[in-house]
Homo-oligomer: A and B are copies of this chain.
Amino acid sequence: MMKETNFSKPLPLTQVQVTDAFWKKEMELVRTEVIPYQWNALNDKVSGAAPSYCMRNYRRAGEIQREKKEKGSAFVPMKYPLDTFETVPGKDGKMDGRFYGFVFQDSDFSKWIEAVAYSLAQHPDPELEKTADEAIAVVCAAQREDGYLDTYYLINDEDQIFSNLKDNHELYCFGHLTEGAVAYYQATGKDQLLHAAMRYADFILEQFGTEEGKKPGYPGHEIAEMALMRLYDLTDEEKYLNLAKYFVNQRGQKPYYFDLERGETCEEGEVKYAYNQAHLPVRLQREAVGHAVRAVYLYSGMADVARATADDELFAACETLWDNIVNQKMYITGGIGATHLGEAFSFGYDLPNDTAYAETCASIGLVFFARRMLEIQAKSKYADVMETALYNGILSGMALDGKSFFYVNPLEVLPEACHKDERKFHVKPIRQKWFGCACCPPNLARLISSIASYAFTEKEDTLFLHLYMGGTLEVEANKEHARMEIQSGFPWDGHVTFTCKNDLRKPYTVAFRLPGWSSVYEKQIPSGTMAEEKDGYLYLTRVWKSGDQVCLFFPMEVRLMASNPLVRENTGRLAVTRGPVVYCMEEADNGKNLHLLELNSCGKARAFETDEMGEHFVRIYMEGRRIVPADSDRQSLYHVSNAMNYEEAALSFLPYYMWNNRGEGEMQVWVRAYQR
């Protein structure tokens, strides 16, 4: 049985100051590079990048609202056809009054404002805040009297709003708008956007439901579920919880809404709507399927609803789906979505390295899901996955200079194949500046700027440290104000120091995660502390006094990892990890033809701290060998096998997230291994 008293909630960002060397650098990149770039992008001011049209669409929709007010009911806006998923100007470059860009282009603003909010919470910036306020004014001016706010329909044809939930992303845009609005309110206290989001939510409430006269619909691309739960957590308004609950519970019920809305029956609904996780009621879903980003966004919303309603059955569904992902469908980097066809999960244990999709956004969604599971149950298995995804499959999405991005995060790359083999065209051999469909860069921006809300959650009597990062925290410890300081060498060094900076009067618990990658650890704790290990956390309870210090040390040994025997691609191969970091070989360090290199599974590992590419990190050298083919073996395509000729080779490994910062080249995570 779920107990509400066990639930924790993220520490508000305004109560955390991140000082961590590793994460502070990432956050600064987002603040100084990504957010300004993104603002230019959504104002179509990035030369060479596809225009977003985002702010232009809001302005255009705002004009229509103004005209309506001025001209009253006499005014009938021009209509434009809805039949394109993306509208671009004709060859002459001329634009008319219609909506431009992808149908979900509104969300560009929302993701940006959310990242801005988190950044402002950590790093006040009056000029940025002014820009944000002005943008918010533009957005709010586009809102219809009744609360509706999606510029695609407002501009092109208002009569058709909510007519294609499956494909047209209205509720997705609503979700992002709401997340951005909540974040901006929490960071700045300003509520203009929040009120816009609430008015839109109220409008949606009137439209959807199983009651007579309402549409029994739900989002084609999930996110509204978690957004509504943020609104509920902030406002305590039951109606938002009820809408989220409705979206979750109605999903996948028969007759399929996606059939109803197009007035036809899709005989293969169970297969077809699996892409949207709408093939079955969510409580009956036992396998993670379909579009990976949508899936983990849904599961995150399900976990939110399960928590808020203490719904054991729904939580059990979340656990089943979590286990299915983590035990059968996740790359060692925390990447999910093994096929580019539908950007989707493949079947269990099908984890090809070179054709992986492993979208940055999907791993980000997995972090959302993990944090929500942690809120319900502090089990380190959730935090372990969150940490893996963060340090590997997510950070790999951004170049070290914050200026280019990967959507797709493969675990093995041969650039020639990316250029010549259409089956791998989705795998880019080099990060891209920006994308027309700009989901991953802004998603990275909002995640990184809010990283502390994933690291720390609290409930009345307990502070949870899920991730280790340096910073100062202000917490309410049993309603007493407390200040804590954390120092950490993660992810390169396993030392963590926790210091209480003021005196408390009542016992308070701090729960330290014991990372799954460290089978042993050392601890120094103040005498008289009550210590308990449970579910992968070390619970330390005492009446904390200023200067009380806890020192933990998690040895970061180089670990050679193997896959489950059912992962065919990795049979006979090992991956190198150290602490939370997954490593890879790059051509720049090991030469061409990485496939000819083999790792001695009994060899010694040497790990060195180093500074390269502007990054302080640990490089690893492993004992290995290189196949040296005989000249005759190179003449023909096939030859009678002969004893293999090897030369010794020290294999050089780099953190996976750092790959591809030195131009195009081969890369490999899983390396063929031998025992000697």
- Using CB atoms and an 8 Å cutoff, list the residues of chain A in contact with chain B: 326-328, 330, 332, 339, 341-342, 346-347, 349-350, 355, 414, 416-417, 420-423, 559-568, 571-572, 574-575, 593, 595-596, 598, 601, 627, 629, 633-644, 672-673, 675
Contacts and interface: CB of A to CB of B under 8 A. Distances in A.
A604 to B, nearest CB: 15
Contacts of A564: 629, 633-634, 636-639
Given A565-B634, A571-B627, A560 B421 contact: no
A441 to B, nearest CB: 27
B639 A561 contact: yes
Given A559-B640, A560-B640, A638-B332, A572 B672 contact: yes
B422 A339 contact: yes
A595 B571 contact: yes
Contacts of A627: 565, 571
B347 A637 contact: no
Nearest to A596: B565
Contact of A327 (B347, B416, B566, B636): B636
A675 B565 contact: no
Given A327-B636, A562-B640, A640-B559, A347 B568 contact: no
A447 to B, nearest CB: 23
A637 B327 contact: yes
A564 B572 CA distance: 20
Contacts of A634: 564-566
Given A339-B423, A341-B422, A595-B568, A637 B350 contact: no
Task: Identify the interface centre among A349, A420, A635: most chain B CB within 10 Å of its CB.
Answer: A420
A423 B421 contact: no
A562 B355 contact: no
Contacts of A601: 641
Contact of A350 (B326, B417, B563, B595): B417
Contact of A341 (B342, B423, B575, B675): B423
Nearest to A673: B641
A340 to B, nearest CB: 8
B346 A420 contact: yes
Nearest to A326: B637
21 contacts: A326-B637, A328-B637, A332-B637, A339-B423, A341-B422, A346-B420, A346-B421, A347-B416, A347-B421, A350-B420, A562-B633, A563-B637, A563-B638, A564-B633, A564-B634, A565-B596, A565-B629, A571-B672, A572-B598, A574-B641, A643-B675
Contact of A675 (B355, B417, B635, B644): B644
A433 to B, nearest CB: 23
Nearest to A560: B641
B568 A641 contact: no
Contacts of A328: 637
A569 to B, nearest CB: 9
A374 B350 CA distance: 44
Quickly give the copy total for this chain.
2
A354 to B, nearest CB: 9
Nearest to A342: B422
A91 B326 CA distance: 45
Contact of A633 (B327, B342, B414, B565): B565
B561 A641 contact: yes
Contact of A347 (B420, B598, B639): B420
Contact of A640 (B349, B561, B637): B561
Nearest to A674: B674
A423 to B, nearest CB: 6
Given A327-B636, A332-B637, A341-B423, 16 more contacts: A327-B637, A328-B637, A342-B422, A355-B423, A414-B568, A559-B640, A560-B640, A562-B639, A564-B629, A564-B637, A565-B596, A565-B629, A572-B572, A572-B598, A574-B641, A644-B675
A637 B326 CA distance: 7
A236 to B, nearest CB: 40
A565 B416 CA distance: 16
Nearest to A568: B595
Nearest to A572: B672
A563 B635 CA distance: 10
B421 A567 contact: no
A279 to B, nearest CB: 14
A327 B563 CA distance: 34
Contacts of A643: 675
Contacts of A574: 641
Contacts of A571: 595-596, 627, 672
Task: Identify the interface centre among A416, A422, A640: most chain B CB within 10 Å of its CB.
Answer: A640
A85 to B, nearest CB: 20
Contact of A565 (B562, B563, B567, B593): B593
A436 to B, nearest CB: 20
A391 to B, nearest CB: 15
A627 B636 CA distance: 32
Contacts of A421: 339, 346-347, 350
Contacts of A355: 423
Contacts of A637: 326-328, 330, 332, 349, 563-564, 567
Task: Identify the interface centre among A575, A641, A643: most chain B CB within 10 Å of its CB.
Answer: A641
A639 B562 CA distance: 5
Task: Identify the interface centre among A560, A568, A643, A672: most chain B CB within 10 Å of its CB.
Answer: A568
Contacts of A414: 568
A336 to B, nearest CB: 11
A665 B566 CA distance: 16
Shortest 5 CB-CB contacts between residues of A and residues of B: A562-B641, A565-B629, A347-B420, A341-B422, A560-B641
A414 B327 CA distance: 20
A328 B349 CA distance: 31
Contacts of A350: 417, 420-421
A486 to B, nearest CB: 28
A341 B595 CA distance: 25
A567 B593 CA distance: 10
A95 to B, nearest CB: 25
Contacts of A560: 640-641
A460 B420 CA distance: 47
Nearest to A349: B637
